[in-house]
Structures are given as C-alpha cells and as structure tokens.
Structure 1
Amino acid sequence: MAISATIITIEIRFEQDVVMTRQRARLIAELLGFDAQDQTRIATAVSEIARNAFQYAQGGRVEFRVEGESPQSLLICICDKGAGIANLNSILEGRYTSATGMGLGIIGSKRLMEWFEIESSSSHGTTVQMGKPLPKRALVVNGPRLAQIADELVQRSPSNPLEEIQQQNQELLRALAELQKREEALTQLNRELEDTNRGVVALYAELDEKADSLKRANELKTRFLSNMSHEFRTPLNSVISLSRMLLDRMDGELTPDQEKQVTFIRKAAEGLSELVNDLLDLAKVEAGKIVVQPDNFEVSELFGTLRGMLRPLLAHNSSIALVFEEPRDIPTLYTDEGKVAQILRNFISNALKFTPTGEVRVSAVRVGNTITFSVADTGIGIAAEDTERIFEEFVQVDSPLQRQVKGTGLGLPLSRKLAELLGGNVWVTGTIGVGSTFFASIPLVYSGSNQESPLPPVSWKLDPQRLPILVVEDNAETLFTYEKYFQGSIYQPFLARTLDEAEQALTLFTPTAIMLDILLEEQHTWGFIAELKGNQATQEIPILVVTVIDNEKQVRALGANAFLVKPVDRWSLLNQINTLIKRNTPQKLLLIDDDPASQYVLKQLLSDTDLNISEAFDGREGIDLAQIEKPDCIILDLSLPEMSGDKVLSLLKSDSKTNDIPVIINTSQSLETEEQKNLAQNTVAILSKETASQEIAIARVREALVKAGIALKACERGYV
C-alpha cells in the first residue's frame, strides 16, 4: 500500500533555524538509510534553499515527507511568502549573474537532488520541491517505522550551531582528502599515458613501415595478375576456339567419348577464361586503370538489356522466375552504365545459381541522391557471419549447392570495387533457407562529373488504407531497408532525412507512430524527442528509437516508448510498432473458412497466442461478424460456399465499416501470377495451406499477422 506521510515540519524564522534545518535534514537522511555522501548532499541542498527563504523572504517552512510504495522516496518542500524570484528562468538556465550570489544555491541544489521543481510568483511567493528515491537496501517506511523515526528525532536533539559548523568542516576535510587521492591517481595515470603514448608513437612508425611494405607488395601482386592474365588469355582463347571447331565437326565426326572429352576441355577452358577476366578486371581497378565513362541512361532501359542478356541462363531451369520490377519515379542516371550493368549481372547470375526454385526479383528505388538497386532471391540464403566474407577475394561459402555450382569467388569483390569506383557501395542481407538480397547504392550523378543532382521533393501523400509512420533517418541504406520492411504491411512509411522535414510532416498529418535515429548527419534528436513529449498535440504519439548506440535508459528518460539497436530485422521492427500501437489492448482475429479442419489447424498454429479468435463458415456470416466485432485481422479462404472469397474480399473493402481491417488470404488454390497481383492489392499476405512442415506454417502465419498489425509476445515470435 502506498504511503504519503509527513516526518517533520520546521518553521524558519531566525538564522539559527537554517542551521537546525540542515541538522535535521542530515539526521532524517541517515535514519532513512542514505549513505554519508547522500546525507551531505541532501543536507546541503535543503540548507541552501532554506537560507534563500530566510535571506530573501524573511522566513518560510520546510516539510520532510516520505511517499510511494516501491520504491519509496524522500520529498522535501520548502515554501515562503516572499516577493518571488524575478529572474527564475535565467537562473535555471545558468545565464543570471548576481552580486549577492542569488541563484547559485538554486542551481547547486538542483544538481544535488534527483528531482527538483520550483514555482515562484510575486503573489504566492516561492515553493521548491525536491527529492531522492530511498536506497534499495533501506527499510520500508510504514506506520511503525515512522513512529520509530519520530522517536529518534526527539531523542537525538540537534547540536548547537558551532557543532554543525564543525561537522561541515569535517565533511570538507574528508572531501579534500578524497580529492587529493584522486589527484595522485590522475598524476599516476598521466605518467602511464605518457609511457603509452611513446609506445604508440613507436608503433605508428613501425606500422607506417609495414604499410609501405604492403603497398609495394600489393603493387607487385597487381602487376603480376595483370601481366599473367594477359598471357593466359591467348592460349585459352585458342583452346576454346579449337574445341569449338572440333565440336562443330569441321574436321570430321567425333565418337561419343571424344565429344564428351572435348566438351569437358571447352568447359574447363571457359571457366578458366572467366577467372582470368575477373582477375584482370580486379587488377585494373586496384591499379587505377579502370576509366569511368559516365553517360545519361534510364534504369528501365538497363533492366531491358539485362533481361535479354540473362534469359539464356534460365533456359535449363523453368522452376525459377526472373522478375524485373518496373522502375517508378527514377530520373535519368549520369554514371557508367556498363559498370552498373556488370554489378547487377554478377548479382543476378549468383542469385540464379543459388536459387533451386522460386524467383529472383530485381528492383530499384530512389533514396536521396542515390539509386539503390536490389536483387532478391528465394535461394539457399546467407548466414549473418558470412555477409562480409563473401566480398573477400576467392572466398566461397561452403554448402551442398556451392559444391555443385563452380565459381571464381571474384564476382562479388569486383562488384564492390566497381560500386566504390562509382561513389557507391554494396551490401547483402539474408537468412539461411529463406533467401538473400544483394544491394548496390549508386549516386545519381557520378562524383567525377560537373553535373549536380538536387534533392528529391518530399511527398506526404497519405494512403487512406494504411497507417502513417514517420521515419526520421538520414542513412540511405537504412531508409531503403525500412521501405522494404514496410512493403505489404498495414503501415505507410514517410521518410524524413532531417528534423526540418520531420517537423514539416507533423504540420501536415499526425503519424500513428514515430521511428527515429538519435544521431543524424549534422543533428541529434534528443531535443526533438523531448519536444514531442512536451507538446500536447504530439505527446501521445508512440516513439520508437532505432539507433546503433545502446543508450536505452537515456532515451526512455526523455520519453521514448521503445528502443531497438541497429541492425534490426523486419519482424522485430514491425512487431515492436504493433505493440506500441495496440498498447496491450485485446486483439481479435476472424477466421472465414468453411472447412472445420482448416480452422482447427489454424487455431492450433495460434494456440500459444493471446488472440481472441472468432469463426465464420461462409462469406455472409464472415461479413456480418466483421461488421459487428471489428476484428484486428481477418484470415480468409477463397473457396467458400454460395459466395467466393474474392467476392467476400471485395465487399469487405467496399464497406466503410470494414475496409480498414487487414485481410490475409489462406487458400489451397494454385493461383496464377495475375490473380496473386490482383489479390495483393487488398491483402497483406497470401498463404498456402499446402505447407511443407508445421514449423514453416507457424512462421508464415505469424509473419503475416505481424504485417497485418498484430502484436505478438516475444515468446510467440521465435521465428524472427
């Protein structure tokens, strides 16, 4: 049970009352379990404010209270009936200078206490409230304990002013002794640092010598690779040409064994030729002999060229679809088209090699002054620990499929060097068994040219079917990643690269939640968070901080509602936003399916969630329940009696009562590509009832629920 009880009240009428107040403050702090240092801090803060009340208002009242349940706190209220403090704001900001020292006691007391509030006016005087939480080891203050403290205050009557001064002097002596110890420690540390600095200087000199040696060795390696690559090309081209002549029967027929042998020779020669070409390109880049030839070109034309160039790679495997998304709102690029094509060609050919079934999807979006290309596949995936290794020369990740598909291990390192040459960079994300996505961020305008590329205008066009999320982030790769994360979800991200853009957005619409980084390029968002939480119009908007520095305590102290450390995966991010928005409210799920077995299976997959699940066995019943119950999400089967699932979906989305409810399709039908596209316009996910395993089925259902805005507990989303 929470307690709120007064320990003692002291009237300040004479100067010796100030001394007595300090004595009482120290004694009360001791009885409540504070250590000696905190006792001195509390006593000093109380005496400074009490002295102000006596000096400027000719008196006042000091009240000591204990409040709270767990934890409990010591609160001190000091009030007077004086003329008030005219320059209070300047004093609190440290800008006021007084010949009498007024203001120093207020600032000092504020620093000594955990909480400090002051109100002052000419009509009501000044009231100061300050406090500290009781130590964790302290006894709980209840009725009997309060009586015990009161008895001790009576028994241990305050000493005279001279003894109080002696006590203060002893505290000062102890503080000076501690400072002397620290000074001696600092002197010793400085001597150690000087020795370390001398060692570091010597180490730098040695490192410079090693760096020069490595540079010379690298130049020798580059020259060797370049010369050897040229020397290898001529005999390899001869071997390839001669083997082709033999296979074309230009000098007569071959026996089956001879044809097989010559085919092996030609494939080996072509593989070696590919290795030589990659080595030569790497050597040229490292030697600085690659010339960038920028020109204007359209991404759509580049995609068309790549589509035609790579189509033959799919001839032997009809189970893979190569999809080029139509570029939207992307201006003309001014860079080296051939090198961009080479980067994407390496990405796509790798994706096709390591994707047994599924699709390889190529897309491009504009992020600030760059175009970020992505090549996503549904292949074998890449472990997190290998995402940097694969960009090292000759490195190939071991896997059963890798052993079947031979490569040089030079394509990805070359792609990174080419991207850096154009002023961009490359990176990859992936999950074993799920797939991977390779990214290349290329500037709109090659930095070696004189053309300028203006920042794109910011668009704040709201989609009425989605919830707006304001994202404050200045990193191009991160912005692109967030855009991908929100695709297909119920959220519409609005990307703000600066605080000015964020404030502009807030004048145009109220976001459902705000995501932000702490450190922007030339700004930080500490003040912005405090401003949002201090403004009545925005203080209820949930704030999620996603940053590279683990400073959660400071972030939450400013008012942020949640915190994640970069890098963050898609499902953790979406689920955190769902949790902030739902705020522990009960969540309802409606299943519309005429097959009791299917409904039973779905309920079993979701048995460890807190969802309230309703069931409907036909379309009309499902629509009625959706209108009455307003569920947070609907899982809909397409094969329903009397009214098809397509018709149910259409009616749900055309009704103002239900059009904002996210819908997940769960069907056993085999859908054509065009059908999937049409359904995807009004749904957050399309699931198949024909799933390989229960684990995969659970993962896919819960991923879809998170995209639909359902908040799952940490234990419910082990798949992410």
Structure 2
Amino acid sequence: MTHTLHSLNLGSEQDVVSARQRARSVAEVLGFDHHDQIRLATATSEIARNAFRYARGGTVSFEVDPETGVLKVVVTDKGGGIPHLKQVMAGSYKSSTGMGMGIVGTKRLMDEFSIESGPSGTCVRFGKLLPTQSRPVDAATLQRVATLMARRHPATPLDELQVQNRELMKTLDELQERKEELGRINAELQDTNRGVVALYAELDERADYLRRASELKSSFLSNMSHEFRTPLNSMLALTRMLLDRMDGELTSEQEQQLRFIQQSAKELSEMVNDLLDLAKVEAGRLDVKPKTFEVAELFGALRGMLKPLLADNSINLVFEPADSLPPLFTDEQKVSQVLRNFMSNAIKFTPRGEVRVAASRRGELIEFSVTDTGIGISESDQRIIFEEFAQVENSMQRRVKGTGLGLPLSRKLAELLGGIVEVESTIGVGSCFRLIIPSTFPGAVPAVDLPMPELDPKRKLILIVEDNPETAFVYSRYLANAGFQTYSIPALEDARKILSKVTPAAVILDVLLRSETSWDFLRELKSDVHSLPVLVMSVVADERRVYGLGADAFLTKPFVPEQMIGEIIRLTSVSGRTRILMIDDNEVSRYLLRENIAEGQYEIFEARSGREGLRLADEIKPSLIFLDYYMPDLNGIEVLRDLRNSPDLARTPVIVHSTKTFDELELQFFRDHSVSIFSKQALTHPDSAARLRELMDTLAAHAGIENNANA
C-alpha cells in the first residue's frame, strides 16, 4: 500500500524552490544519506521546474511504498505534452532551452523512473530505494514527516541558494578527501606493481635458469649415454669372445671373473639405455609411433623374451588369455617396454610362486596387470620406487641389483601414451603393478589405408623411406628437378604396404627411423622378391654393414645433392642413355640447366671447374657437353682446345652456355670447332626448355647419337 507523505502545487518559482527543499527534508527523515538527499532534491527540482516552465504549473507528490521500499516522487502537469519524447529519452535531443537534459539526468540519478506524456499532460514518476538501515515506515514515521512539513516555512530562493552552496562546499570537501585517498592508494599500487614486476622478473629468470639446467641435463644424459654405449658394447663383445674360448681355455676363476665383468657391463648397459630414454622423454624427443596390434600377440612375444629370466622352476610365469580383447592402436614397443620392466622386477623379487600377466578392458581404457607372490613393498616405500635411482633397502635388494630407473621410466612412458601406472603391494604377500592406457592413442586414428601415388608413366618413381619430413622434402625437390617422381614414407610398415602395390625404380633408405632401424628392411629389399636398387643415406657411417646387406650405394648425411642425383640416375639408368656433362663453376646455373633438360631421360654429370670437367669428360665419355666460358682455373676456350685435342672427345658436341656476349673472332672460333651457343639469358624465356631440347636433338642427330630418352 502506497502512502502519500506530502504534496504541493507548482504555481510560482517559489513553489519549485519549496519542492526541492521538501524533497531533501523527506529524504532526511527517511534516513537517506547526504548524497542521496542531494540527488533526490536535485531530481525533484529539475522535473518540477520543467512542469512550471513548459506547462505553467502542476503538482508534486511524495509517496512511499513500504512493501517495495521505495520513496517515489510524482510530478504531473496539464500541458501539451513533450514532443520528441523518444529522442529525449535516448539523450539525442536537446532544445534551445535545454529541455530533455533534466529528464535524462533524473533517470540516471534514480533507481526507478517512468514518464507518460500526451496532449492532455505529462506525468513523471521517479524514486529511490530506501536505505537498508532506515526504520520501518509506519504511522509514527508518517506523522513525523507530516509534522515536519507543517513546521517548515517556505524557503526563499536566496535561502535555498545558500543551502545549495553549503551542500556544494561539503561535496567538494568530500571529493578532495577522496582524491587524496585515491592518490595514496595509487602510490601504494605503484609500489606493489613494482614489487610484482620485480617478482615476475625474478621468477622468469629462475624459470629460464631451470629450463636451461633441464636442457643441459637432458643433453648431457643423451650425449653421455651414446658415448658409454661404444665401450660397453666392446666390453660385452670381448667378454663373449673370451667366454667362448676363442683365445684358449680359461681357468674356473678366470671364467667366474669374466662373468662378473659381463654381468656388470650388462647392468651398466641397461642403465645407459634407461638414461637415454629418460633424457629423450624429458626433452620431448621420444616420439610415439602408434600402430594396430593384438594383445595376444604382444603376450606371445613377451613370453619368449622373459623365458631366459626364469632360472629355475620355482617361479611360474602365467599369461592369462587375451583373445577377447579388441586390437589396440598405440605404441606397441613402449607398452612392451613397460610390461617387460614390471615382469623382470616381479621375477627378480619373487623367490617362489608365480608371476601372472593379464589384460582387461575398462571402457575405452585397457588395463595391463603384472601380479607376483614376491616379497612385497611397504606403503612408505611405494612412494619412492618411482623416483629416479631409488632402491628399496632389504636383503633381497642387496642380492638382486637394479638400476633404479626402470619404474620412473615406465611411469613417464605411460604418461607419454596418455595413461598411468598404479601399484598395490603387501609385505610378504606380493605386488601388483598396473599399466592403464587408452586403447587408441589420444589424437591418433588408425590408418585405414595409404593413398596411392598418382604415377606418371614417363617418370620413374623413387620411394623415399625417411622419417624426417624436412629431409624427405629436400630429397623430393632435388629428384623432381632431375625428372623423377617421388613418394615419401616415414615408417617401415607403410613402406611395405606401398611396395605391395607398386614397384619403384629405386629406394632411398635411412637406416635409423626414430626408434626403429631398417637393417632387416634393407635385407628384404635386396631379396629375390623385390631386388630393388637401394641408396642408403644415413648419419650412421657403417659402410661395411650397409654394403654387406646388399645396398647398391651409400651416402652419409649431410649429403651433396649432385651426388644423390648421380647415384639415383646410375641406379635407374638403362643401357644407351645419353650422358650429358655440365662444366660450370656456378651452382645456380647448373641447377637452372638441369631443370630445363630434366625428364629422367639423360644421365647428367656435373663439374665445378675446367680441370675437373676435362677429367670427368675423359672418364665418362659424354655424348654432349655444356661449357661455361668464365671459370676460375681454365676458361671455356682453353677447355674447348683440350677437348678437341683428345681423340675420344674431338667430335663430342659442345654447347657454350654463358652470359658473355661474344665478338666476331670468338664466334668464328666456335664455328671452326663445331660449337653451338645457348646463352644463359635464354633460360629466362618461357619456351627455353623447348628451344634447348630442339638444339640438343639437332646436335644429337648431326653427331649420330641415338637418343633413346623415351625408351
């Protein structure tokens, strides 16, 4: 229910002043603070002045609604209404007298606002929520307001101006205090910001230091692991030779000592391998190579690998059937590595009983478990076994040595596969280690089939088996410019699929593909089934082994493009192919010339100087020679004289390929020696390849060369 506190008519300017004064008084009685009193008084004054100025009068009523808790002011008039009301409310209209600004300002100051305007008059309602600490609006409160309004004498404009001045001075004082307080807060914030910036800088410095330290540690572990492998492998090989009595018999004491050395070398080799894998994981260089495999087949392979560890019949190794499980698509080698570690630990620390290996399905997850009846691990020790180099102290641990790296590595490999490692163990009862991983490696989808390359029957296919995409791309570009088509494959499994469908002219093979080697694949390629020409390109400088397994050519990385192209041309060449020799010290010029004549039709050789060109020409007896004029040792005319003085090369067609503009004497010299000219500038023309081919065909016909390029 709404209660009317006070009302007055607007008949003069004095009444507008009274409306402002009474709005402030009502607000004061109802408990509004100083600022809200001024807001209510100002809003009432603005709307009342509009009613008096434009409608020549009106009424102001003060009402309170105890239920909604709002003090309302209602100003009505009987004028002609407010034109352009929508524009006024939107704040986009302003008359010459400023009409509309008071309305918009009132709406902004108040909690509630509404306006109705038409030809018969205007009614403006606005209000403000009562203070939360004000007393309930009851009959006593209403009586107090009525008594106060009755005692108030109408204020003159001068009186009201003085009140407004005092309010303004008070407001200015409060603003000054707030400004000073804001200044102090800003100063404190600046000090805090400087401290935070300094802290962040220190944290960044620490983080950078830790990152560099981690990188150095990983680099050190990786480099040292590689360095350790060579002497360790030598130690193992030498002890095997001695134990096999290759240099004579051994005493029982000598044999025992050698076995100690051999066992120590094996343990150190295991530690080195684990360190290298840890370093790769921490450095983010250990890649996951997912493929599809059956759990049953994995268990079969593990059974064969772990059988030698069963030294006696006191331990029974049991693999539970896994035929009902679906195929997995993840890194089989890493899953096998984790399970081998679990199983070898279980066998080591189980004096008698059994080690049981099982796998089960958990929705989209696969859980592998290795359960033993061994000595068990205490709850306190379970927290440290996954720390690097941690060892559980007990009598059996002292008898069975370990590296302390297997379980930490297993946990990191599990995380790499998107899974976790868990352990449950009871002293004297046994332990159960679990590997829980997604059945499909996260972010990977099993490959359904490899797309077949679109083969051009006029160009020979070179299969590139290389896991580094940048390197494979460089190979492909050079070979494409030499007239070949290429197909790059990063994994051996995919390479085998491609070879089952197409037969390339040759294969470029890297023998180290991430974590797998391709020695067996090289042996397959050179078997009776494929018998494909193979060019091995690798950082591994094991030339004897490469050729021992049947490779046709071998180049070390980093490679020389001309050597690679030359070897591929040699491996894929047919008898009678036209040989072209380029004698030019400028690599770019040789590249552009190759690009214009390349169709896989010619066997191209390159020389970087005049002397090298003469030597190579005498060795290969080319059918055509491209000769540059300006070279650092011998110029084109000197090389040409030597060629024409050679009985085997005197009639070989020569094309001078140069940027030089020759004079009449030089041109006559070339005509006398049956030399053609094809300027390097001509290669910039759109039809350069066709013009060059036409010149080469003409020379071949005159020289009686059988051009079997299309054979």
TM range (shorter): 0.3 to 0.5
Higher alpha-carbon Rg: 2
Using structure 2 for the length normalisation, give the TM-score: 0.40
